[in-house]
Every structure is written in C-alpha cells, then in structure tokens.
Structure 1
C-alpha cells in the first residue's frame, strides 16, 4: 500500500454537515487495516521501488469498484443505502495508486435488494448525493472525458467515473440515456442478473438475447459516448450487444468460465468476441467469484489465474482489472443479499472453499499495489504492466468517449 497522495488533505464524506442532525449517521467500517495485509508477495527493495514507480508514473484505472464505506454492522446496509448518502472512502483511495476508478453507484440499494429497486428516482438521488459530496473537496474529480483522467494524473488527484451496473432504470424510455449522460454517467451495463427491457441477465434460466429496444439503447449509448458493460448480462445478450455495438464493449468485472465453472464468469467465446471488436475484460475479485482449480481458496493468486488465461486467450492488449471491491465486509454483504446477487445460481453444483475475505484484494486501497507486485514478481515488462493497469482501458475510452 502506498503513502497517502500529497493532494489528499484528509477530507471525509459530508464533513460539511452535522451527523445525526443533517443526516442519519452509521458506524462505518475502517477504510484501512480491517483485515491483515497480504503476505503472499515477497518483494525486495528494488521490486518495491519498481511497483511504486509504476503506480506513480503510470495511469492506473479500475474498471469496476464500489469505493464506498459500508456500515460496520453489515445488516444495516439496507437502511444505509436508502439514505442514498454513501460515504466515499477518500482515505483509502488516497493510498490506492489509482488514477481513476469507475464508481458503480449503489442505485438506492436497488441492485442488492430487488430488481424493483432499479428506479429512476433512486439513481438520480445517488448521482446527486455523490456529486454534492465530491463538490466539497479537491482530491477526487469527476471524469467525463479522457482528458480528465490525464488531468487527474498530472495534478496528483484521482478521477471518478460515474457508472451504473445496468440500464434497468431507463425502462422503455431511450431519452433517459441522454439524461444520464448529462448527469455525468459514462459507463452502463445492459442488465443486472435479471432481465429488463434491454435484454437478459445471467440469473435467467433462458436468454432471449438483446431486445429490439436494447438495440436502440445500444445505438444511443454509442452515439452519446457511454461505454457499455456486459458483465452481468446473459451469454446471448452479451454476444448480441457486441455484435450490434459500433464501439468496443467492456466486460468490466468478470473472469473466465474455463478457469472457474461459474455462471458469473464469462465463456471464452464472449471474451474472445469482445476482444475481436477491440474490447477489454477487467478481472474481478468480489468474494467467491474468480476462483480457480489451482487456487480454490479465493485470493490474489486465484484472480491472476484468470488473468494469465485471458492473456493467453486474447492477448495482453485486451485485459485489465475491475476488482469490484469496497470498504467493509464484502463477504457479509454477499451473505446478506445472496438471493439478489445471483450467487447461489452461479455456483450451483460447483463446490468451493469459503473465505472471510479475498486475501490480497480485499478493498480498493490495496488492490493495485498487490496486482502490480504480482506482475513484477512474475516477470512482466513495464510496457505490459502499463497496458493492463490502465493503458488498455484508455485506448478503449479514446474510441468510445469520442
């Protein structure tokens, strides 16, 4: 983990308001030191210096995270989410080494309570509340174009990309995509597990593919400059989206079903199709997702098994990282909302060893230090590391965001 960024001055979310008076306060999980530091890497002084240089000098982008601080008592999450007042983990982010993070807003708790929760008003509330908080500090800046990422890097700040895991809230009104773009959303998923008006999610028993309205929405996102994600979409819907899009498609947070036979992973055919059209897959690390036969106890090594497989499959120019982490008890969160997160269906018939946290990739503060360290130890060049830490994502964004 790096030292705090010099531009970070210690700001905490909503410190301009009075907790308990202006908003309901929750006891939040610590951003740093919640679990022991990863001990699986043995870096000598030269390797540590190289990792620090790679994270400091290069552009580092997380394709998918939830850099919010969750309640210490995870069962309070529903009430916390309903306030729409998620606290951004500024302290942890300042040590992460990231230049930009795709922040997947919790959509008024929708995505972890019920599909009915994907309401337009909830999404607008989440966006407005998050931007109000960001406007009161000077370390994290809102990203709307590639130039903003470079500005964040050059000025020692961090860029935050507003992203949504599904387009369910647009219902059948394609002009809502324009509104979301106007609010600053620059990346959106097609469906989150359950089907919507655009297409099928990975939780569905059958996948009818991208609907006619879904094709219309994809065309609108292409024209506006919104990156499209298919991480939680069904296989046929994913392939249809890749085929109908005129721009590269992102798989922001997933892994390979060949490495781990879970529906939550993507078949190699989808990964290959996305890469052939110029897209990128971001390797995720949410608990009990990117495991592997070689490392069934979910940890950094499990995730990197997916990384090496995807590099062999589509080449290093089409692989990145979207760790899908947060500040708090991610395993407890999944246990509480497993029914709505499709985890039971994803692992049906596949035994695995449960862990209390993903060792080495537990939260946004530590992920890229350990990822970069693994890449250094395993002999990747500075050029290769630069591509997977941020260069590949930048290439796609240059095309998608115009």
Structure 2
C-alpha cells in the first residue's frame, strides 16, 4: 500500500490488528501517516472498546450502576478506537475521522443523533489527539437499513459479543446525515470555542495533509 500510494486506513479492524499494523508501520514506514477514516474515539464515552459484554457488566456492577441508570452502558462498540491507538496514529502525523452513526455511540441511544452530539464526538477526538489530527468521516450512509439486514443474516461474522445486533434491536439505526446536520454542527463547535481555522482543519485540511503525504 505504501509503495503504491494507498493510504493505510485502520477502521473496521480489531484492536489486535490495529496494534500489529501500528507496530509494522512505526518500524518500516515511520514517516508515513495512517488514518482511521470512520470511527469515534472510545474515551469520548468512557468506554472500553475491546471488552466483552460480560466484562462491561462486571465493570458496571463495580461502579454500582444498573440498567436504566444514565451512565450504564452495555459495552463499548467494537468500532471505537481506544486512546493509546489514537495517540500513536497522531504521533505519526495521521488522523482520526469520526462518523456520526448511532450504534457506534455509547450504548445509551437517543432517537436520533443531534448536532450537539456530533460536535461532542468531534471534540472527544480533539481532546485525545489534538486539533491537527481530527477529521469527519465521508461514509454518510443516510440510513443503516442495509447494514441491519446484512448483520442479522450474517451474525456469526461479527466478533462483537452481539453488541451491534443488540443496538439495532434497541432502535439504534440512525445516522447524523451530514446534509442535515453539518451547518448546526458548526454552530455547536463555535459554542465550544472552535475557531474558523480549527473547523477548516477538521472539515478538510487535516485529511488533505495526510493524502498529500500518502497518495501518488
């Protein structure tokens, strides 16, 4: 991929695979940045992305939380990126692009993703890796209906302890469609103190910098 100018993307991978690729890239291609093209950061929600549902239940029990409590969550979605991996990507000049898909959130799902929640997902990544290493995802699905059907038919393909199907069953099928929410997301980021320069980096410049370094 590096030889042929293809950007290395770590989304859709397990924690072990991400770690292995990071190790390899840091050894053999130290100055070639990588990206996570469409995944939120786990620390935004206080989640542990690679733990099982049973491990989450034990953690919730130790915290004295029960189903129905505001801060109770089923588990961290397997698609979330943990903070150490995100920081390693940033240290190698790469970027994390968050996606506004409801089932990738914190295990406590609203009816729809609000602009404020989308801004919080961006800000959560910025807090971990800095303003120069965060972008927004380009996979605006509009609806996850096709994903739901495929996942239900091929449930055995997902090593996520049933997290995704449980999320779909609970109604977590929304997407924060960019065409609907991008303008008010800008308003929410301004309320958080983001400047026009900051938002230019998040909405385009950071990813374009990576692509200029990796594409041929």
TM-score, normalisation: structure 2: 0.69
Alignment check: 8 A CA contact 2:119 2:189 kept: no
1:263 match: 78
Identify the residue that residue 389 of structure 1 maps to in structure 2: 203
Report SS of the residue matched to 2:33. Answer: coil
| Counterpart Cα distance in 1 of 2:173 and 2:7 | 33
Equivalents in 2 of 1:323, 1:343: separation in Å? Answer: 25
Matched, 1:342 2:158: yes
CA contact (8 A) 1:296 1:302 kept: no
Q: Which residue of 2 aligns with 1:301?
A: 116
C-alpha distance in structure 2 between counterparts of 1:286 and 1:351, whole Å: 11
1:357 to 174, 189, 205: 174
Partner residue of 1:321? Answer: 136
Q: CA deviation at 1:344?
A: 6.0
Distance between the aligned counterparts of 1:264 and 1:348, measured in 2? 10
Looking at structure 2, the residues matched to 301 and 287 of structure 1 have their Cα atoms a distance apart, in angstroms, of 13
2: distance between equivalents of 1:387 and 1:346? 36
Match of 1:188 in 2: none
Instruction: Give 1:235's aligned residue.
Output: 15
* 2:59 corresponds to: none
1:228-267 per-position Cα deviation (integer Å, ceiling 9, x unaligned): 1110111121122223232111100001223241111111
Aligned residues between the structures: 175
| Aligned residue runs from structure 1 range 145-156, under 5 A | none
Q: Aligned partners of 2:21 and 2:208: how far apart in 1?
A: 21
Select the structure of larger CA radius of gyration.
Answer: 1
Q: Hey, what's the Cα distance between the residues in 2 that align with 1:346 and 1:382?
A: 41
Superposed displacement of residue 273, structure 1: 1.1
Unpaired runs of 5+ in structure 1? 1-220
Q: CA RMSD in A?
A: 2.8
1 or 2 for the larger relative contact order (CA 8 Å, sep ≥6)? 2
Residue segments in structure 2 that go unaligned for 5+ positions in a row: 48-75
Q: Are the counterparts in 1 of residues 135 and 206 from structure 2 also a CA contact under 8 Å?
A: yes
Q: Is structure 2 residue 91 aligned with structure 1 residue 311?
A: no
